[in-house]
Chains A and B, each alone.
Chain A
């Protein structure tokens, strides 16, 4: 792909206008806010930076890149997908990853991205989980992205969906949201440069968000799916 077409693909898939279902997920933020653990912009930023350093870098990124490198080998993608699914502790995090991955697959199947319809069939048959990072990884290869661009897309997607959820629940304003995204670029740089574990060794340590998602299962306030 040319630089321009890569940039255009990145703009399209990284745009909140691209339908991915991400609007419905807060990844623990709804409960953390309700419980008083996150009360403003500074805490939102700390939370997202923690997610990038202590989850995305060592958990999502290895699966993302392994699936990217597997490319059209959908059997290998399914193995990575299973590892990721099995390693995701909180039920709403696991189901959220599947629902977003499934939504992404359906849209890509609809726009004709190679492999998307075949992999979606595997998910519908129950032969694959459809976790977001695995799906995004092989779709990144199928749409002609490079590894650096794919990592930026994935990390930015996590950051922007969290900031957007925080804005919608009134934790910060639109200028704060953008300022946080600017400052988080350095965190993403650091996360991308960190050692890359094998898919069988993915690890994460974000206990507050995990517990919040577990508490969310029975919580009464449910604007979000997790």
Chain B
């Protein structure tokens, strides 16, 4: 009879995973998902992370083209997935085409370490399938209103990392940022919340560190 509490299995040296870590970036329309992506890419490349990107545009390939033309990353490392007017479906109920694209990137780029998967803009109840990603971020912004965290949307509650973007706009849209952050921390019960201004990159280093710690481990 097997004794699951025994230490019979010797510790194995950690092997490099055969596929890249997959990190989702979701959130409402206009919250700054693509802007965050553009700030993350150069930072991961500077760390020496072997990186690729998948975008899920709503109606065009604009986000994919924007990232390809940015000069930040080789264009062939950026894939676009069409969502059939259902962005949440493509990352949750039926993520098969995103998984297919990620598998394709793994095959095309041996040694790939990280795939960032940007969702199409959606609502506060969107979330990622855990078959698709190892870790996911939800991006909201202060201009969407300081009541967003306390509405307890599924995305805000269940993501691994909540990013509150456009912090610089708080005084102009009459948002009480400290209260917004306090309520975000309360509803998330201790799961991490980070603040960014992706227009100039404020706070993005902390997002990179968090992702690196959680999914890249010792890489």
Q: A23-B83, A168-B85 are in contact. Are A223 and B58 (CB under 8 A)?
A: yes
Residues of chain B lying within 8 A (CB to CB) of residue A21 = 94, 96-97, 100
Contact check, B93 vs A24: say whether CB atoms are below 8 A apart: no
Q: Which residue of B lies closest to A221 (CB)?
A: B59
Contact check, A19 vs B96: say whether CB atoms are below 8 A apart: yes
Contact check, B83 vs A24: say whether CB atoms are below 8 A apart: yes
Q: How far is the CB of A119 from chain B (nearest CB, A)?
A: 15
Once the chains are docked, how many angstroms separate the CA of A22 from the CA of B58? Answer: 16
Residues of chain B lying within 8 A (CB to CB) of residue A223 = 58-59, 82-85
Contact check, B83 vs A99: say whether CB atoms are below 8 A apart: no
Contact with B along A1-43 (1 / 0, CB 8 A): 0000000000000000101111111100000000000000000
Contact check, A99 vs B97: say whether CB atoms are below 8 A apart: yes
Within 8 A of A (CB), among B43-83: 57-61, 81-83
- Report whether over half of chain B's contact residues are helix, strand or loop; otherwise say mixed: loop
Residues of chain B lying within 8 A (CB to CB) of residue A26 = 84
Q: A222-B57, A222-B59, A223-B59 are in contact. Are A107 and B86 (CB under 8 A)?
A: no
Q: A225 in the interface, Cβ–Cβ < 8 Å?
A: yes
From B83, B96, B100, name the one whose CB has the most chain A CB atoms within 10 angstroms.
B96
Once the chains are docked, how many angstroms separate the CA of A177 from the CA of B89? Answer: 20
Q: How far is the CB of A91 from chain B (nearest CB, A)?
A: 15
Q: A220 in the interface, Cβ–Cβ < 8 Å?
A: yes
Q: Which residue of A lies closest to B120 (CB)?
A: A223
Q: How far is the CB of B103 from chain A (nearest CB, A)?
A: 8
Residues of chain B lying within 8 A (CB to CB) of residue A225 = 82, 84, 97
Within 8 A of B (CB), among A162-210: 165, 168-169
Q: A224 in the interface, Cβ–Cβ < 8 Å?
A: yes
Contact check, A24 vs B60: say whether CB atoms are below 8 A apart: no
Q: B177 in the interface, Cβ–Cβ < 8 Å?
A: no
Contact check, A169 vs B94: say whether CB atoms are below 8 A apart: no
Q: A102 in the interface, Cβ–Cβ < 8 Å?
A: yes
Contact with A along B79-119 (1 / 0, CB 8 A): 00111111001100111110110010001000000000000
Q: A74 in the interface, Cβ–Cβ < 8 Å?
A: no
Residues of chain A lying within 8 A (CB to CB) of residue B89 = 23
Contact check, A23 vs B57: say whether CB atoms are below 8 A apart: no
Residues of chain B lying within 8 A (CB to CB) of residue A222 = 57, 59-61, 82
Q: How far is the CB of B122 from chain A (nearest CB, A)?
A: 14
Once the chains are docked, how many angstroms separate the CA of A20 from the CA of B84? Answer: 13
> Which A residues contact B (CB, under 8 angstroms)?
17, 19-26, 99, 102-103, 106-107, 124, 165, 168-169, 220-225
- For the complex of A and B, list the 8 residue pairs with the smallest distance between their C-beta atoms, beginning with the closest: A103-B96, A19-B94, A23-B84, A168-B85, A225-B82, A24-B84, A21-B96, A21-B97
19 A-B pairs, CB-CB below 8 angstroms? A17-B93, A21-B94, A21-B97, A23-B94, A24-B82, A103-B97, A106-B96, A106-B99, A221-B59, A221-B60, A222-B57, A222-B60, A222-B61, A223-B58, A223-B59, A223-B82, A223-B83, A224-B85, A225-B82
Given contacts A24-B81, A168-B86, could you give 12 more A-B pairs where the C-beta distance is less than 8 Å? A19-B94, A21-B96, A22-B94, A23-B83, A23-B94, A24-B84, A24-B97, A25-B84, A102-B100, A165-B84, A165-B85, A222-B57
